[in-house]
Structure 1
Amino acid sequence: MAEIHWDLLEWPKVPEAGLYADFKHAEVSVLFNAATRDLDERIDGHTVLVHVRRRNGDGYEERHASWLAEQVGQTVIGPPQFC
């Protein structure tokens, strides 16, 4: 199991989707043979985590993650992981 983590990224502003630009919480993690960043559950696949934080309960994180996935022709397939 292993993780590659990128930070110091920038999520762009997307006004038509109600998304603001974010530098502080723009991160991506790729997990190899793991389901969580704790690397405590071995799986036969890989997991990509997109880090978006706001936590005000309005669904912003899910909307932002969905928009990011759409940009590469994918969809969000799992629930949020709050860490």
Structure 2
Amino acid sequence: MSNSRAAAVLTTPDLAEAIRAVRTLLDIADLHHAEVDFEAVIRSPEVLAQVRQLLPDLNWWAAAGSEHGCSETGEDPADCLPIQVHDWCHPLDLAEPFIGALGPDSAAIRWDLNAWPEVPEAGLALITQKYAYLTLSVNSRDLYQDEPSQDHTIHVHVPDAEHHTARIEWLATQIDGRYTGRLEISPL
């Protein structure tokens, strides 16, 4: 298993601004065969109902542990709140409706891209699918919802920060963000 490095490049309290920035980065990325993954902590029946309208076959387990309920055993997730969601490999057009369904709950929406393209004028080589990801942490500052917040943070993924700082900084400037030096390891 490989790991990417997720670099925080924009944190904002304005979800609409975060979504606009994600769209800008998606316009830069190679989206051939791209998909989106959802990880969330759902705490309320209202949010759960909205998410299940989008993802009726939701992959989840009770935050207290799968022995307290999970999608594999057919239990009603509403009886097991809060729940953790790990639902992967969805079409890109589900990302924004999922974000809209979250309300105050925290999540990480990860776009699995085909590549970060070559940018010759900036001296940037192609980064292939294995390390080309983009994550929006909603109502959280980290990838894993360990730091709930009213902010939303965009992370760009690269193989390692030491050799790809120029890529991180270039992507950050495309969205009027900046690389803060904050990195998280993201298992792939």
Q: Same fold (TM over 0.5)?
A: yes
**TM-score, scaled relative to structure 1:** 0.78
Q: Which amino acid aligns with 1:53?
A: P
The answer to whether the Cα contact below 8 Å between 2:108 and 2:144 also exists between their aligned partners in 1 is no
Q: Which amino acid aligns with 1:82?
A: I
SS at match of 1:44: coil
* Number of the residue aligned with 2:173: 70
Using the TM superposition, give the Cα deviation of residue 63 of structure 1 relative to its aligned residue in structure 2, in angstroms.
1.6
Task: Please show how residues 4-83 of structure 1 align to structure 2 within 5 Å.
Answer: 4-24=109-129, 25-54=131-160, 59-83=162-186
**Whole-angstrom CA distance in 2 between matches of 1:36 and 1:49:** 9
Q: Which amino acid aligns with 2:157?
A: H
Using the TM superposition, give the Cα deviation of residue 18 of structure 1 relative to its aligned residue in structure 2, in angstroms.
3.1
Q: Which amino acid aligns with 2:155?
A: L
The answer to whether the Cα contact below 8 Å between 2:108 and 2:135 also exists between their aligned partners in 1 is yes
Change (3 A) 1:78 1:32: farther
Structure 2 stretches lacking a partner, 5+ long: 1-105
Q: Which structure has the higher relative contact order (CA within 8 Å, separation 6+)? A: 2
The count of corresponding residues between Structure 1 and Structure 2 is 80
**TM-score, scaled relative to structure 2:** 0.38
Structure showing greater radius of gyration is 2
State percent identity of aligned pairs. Answer: 34
Q: Which amino acid aligns with 1:65?
A: I
Cα RMSD (Å):
1.9
**Whole-angstrom CA distance in 2 between matches of 1:20 and 1:54:** 14
Structure 1 stretches lacking a partner, 5+ long: none
